[in-house]
Amino acid sequence: MRQNVGQLDAYIRISGGLTLLGWGLSKKSMPAIAAGSMKVAEGVTRCCPMLYLLGLDTLKPDTPGEPKAEPLRNG
């Protein structure tokens, strides 16, 4: 899968995921730990499976160093 998460979106996913992960660890809540871990992974890899399935991305097309946003096509 190619990257489909923009830089700001990735930072938000990482910070929100770490917050949820910390809360889940303190409350011993497995669903919160799993959801927080998933959001951190999405932010780090900059790839969101849900955005991929919907054919969307949050990349800005003219951001230097990022690939140009193209509509995702399913095979």
The domains of the chain are located at 7-54
Contact 47, 4 (CB under 8 A): yes
pLDDT 10s digits, 9-32: 999 999 999 999 999 999 999 999
> What are the CA-CA distances from residue 51 to residues 22, 23, 44 (Å)?
25, 26, 15
pTM higher than 0.75: yes
Tokens found for residue 47: 């790839």
